[in-house]
């Protein structure tokens, strides 16, 4: 099994607070790796370090074998990394299809990227594929801002996938969703591993246990435990630090 992401001894402190403290792990290709931990454990900061929104004070971020530690977010994207945010990150005043097509435009050869829409054949085909796969075809001409919360979160994942990334970082994709929407999103995330490697932050423990191949437990900036859902759940240190509070 090969890893698409390798994080080695990653650290960042804000003042005296070690938000991410010597964290190492690998995300295996076509698997779902989930980062869990109490509020303030350092999960979002870890995602910021991986996506390039923050630069680490120590350690390395390797994407598909290439050291991306010093790379800007755009270079990481070009290397196949895509990220969704805890707070919905769509163009609300554009339609559902337009949101996807903007992301898919990167699939066009550079010489065609700024040609009129009708010439963007790959981007248009990818948009139709994503709309169908995410069951949004009937909403394609609606403004993204008019969708339900659940549909917006789904559209956000479709936007992330439209650029055909290797590694998808999803920050709480089910946050604020109804029970039904959560179950649908879980099924969707599971289906994504045919195409991509998924790194997830998720608070819903039942979902984490059901969905993940590999779980990383963060606590006070450190990697407290790392393993299969079953192994992590049985770990006494994890039970004391995390499940005891759940
Ligand atoms: N830019 C920043 N400046 C100062 N402190 C920060 C900054 N970003 C995060 N922190 C602090 O770092 C710690 C880790 O925060 P982080 O948001 O990564 O935790 P988290 O595990 O994602 O929490 P949550 O589950 O609540 O989203 C927290 O104590 C937070 O207050």
Which ligand 1 atom is at minimum distance from the Cα of 203?
Answer: 25
Using an 8 Å Cβ cutoff, are 232 and 246 in contact?
no
Give the pLDDT confidence score for residue 117 in this predicted structure: 67
* Ligand 1 site residues, Cβ closer than 6 angstroms: 14, 17, 19, 37, 39-45
Complex prediction ipTM: 0.96
* DSSP E strand boundaries for 54-137: 58-63, 66-67, 81-83
Cα 188 from chain centroid (whole Å): 13
Using an 8 Å Cβ cutoff, are 171 and 198 in contact?
no
Give the pLDDT confidence score for residue 109 in this predicted structure: 78
Ligand 1: residue whose CA is nearest its atom 3: 14
Query: What superfamily does domain 1-80+167-246 belong to in CATH?
Result: P-loop containing nucleotide triphosphate hydrolases (3.40.50.300)
- pTM (predicted TM-score): 0.90
Dihedral pair phi/psi, residue 128, rounded to 5°: -60, -40
Task: Give the DSSP H/E element, type plus range, for residue 217.
Answer: strand 214-219
Give the pLDDT confidence score for residue 246 in this predicted structure: 45
CA–centroid distance, 201 to ligand 1, in Å, is 13
Which ligand 1 atom is at minimum distance from the Cα of 42?
Answer: 18
Cα 211 from chain centroid (whole Å): 14
Give the pLDDT confidence score for residue 244 in this predicted structure: 63
Distance between CA 58 and CA 87 in Å, rounded?
A: 28
Give the pLDDT confidence score for residue 86 in this predicted structure: 62
Task: Name the residue ranges covered by the structural domains of the chain.
Answer: 1-80+167-246, 89-164
Give the pLDDT confidence score for residue 222 in this predicted structure: 96
Which ligand 1 atom is at minimum distance from the Cα of 37?
Answer: 21
pLDDT (tens, 9 = 90+) of the chain, 246 residues, equals 589 999 999 999 999 999 999 999 999 999 999 999 999 999 999 999 999 999 999 999 999 999 999 999 989 988 899 988 666 779 999 999 999 999 998 888 777 666 676 677 889 999 999 999 999 999 999 999 999 988 898 899 999 999 999 999 999 888 888 888 888 888 889 999 988 999 999 988 889 999 999 999 999 999 999 999 999 999 998 888 776 654
């Amino acid at each position: 099994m090969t890893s698409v992401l390798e994080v080695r001894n990653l650290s960042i402190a804000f003042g005296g607070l070690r938000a991410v403290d010597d964290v190492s792990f690998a995300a295996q290709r076509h698997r779902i790796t989930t980062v869990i931990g109490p509020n303030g454990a350092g999960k979002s900061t870890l995602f910021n370090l991986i996506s390039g929104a923050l630069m680490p004070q120590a350690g390395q971020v390797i994407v598909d074998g290439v050291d991306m530690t010093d790379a800007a977010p755009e270079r990481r994207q070009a290397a196949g990394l895509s990220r969704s945010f805890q707070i919905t990150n769509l163009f609300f005043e554009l339609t559902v299809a337009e949101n996807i097509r903007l992301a898919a435009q990167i699939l066009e050869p550079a010489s065609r990227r700024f040609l009129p829409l009708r010439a963007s054949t790959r981007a248009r085909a990818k948009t139709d594929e994503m709309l169908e796969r995410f069951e949004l075809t009937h909403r394609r001409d609606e403004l993204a801002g008019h969708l339900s919360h659940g549909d917006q979160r789904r559209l956000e994942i479709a936007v992330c996938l439209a650029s055909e990334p290797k590694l998808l970082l999803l920050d709480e994709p089910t946050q604020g969703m109804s029970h039904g929407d959560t179950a649908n999103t879980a099924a969707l995330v599971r289906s994504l591993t045919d195409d991509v490697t998924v790194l997830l932050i998720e608070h819903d423990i039942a979902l984490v246990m059901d969905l993940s191949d590999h779980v990383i437990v963060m606590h006070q900036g450190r990697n407290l435990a790392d393993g299969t859902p079953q192994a992590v759940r049985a770990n006494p240190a994890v039970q004391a630090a995390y499940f005891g509070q759940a």
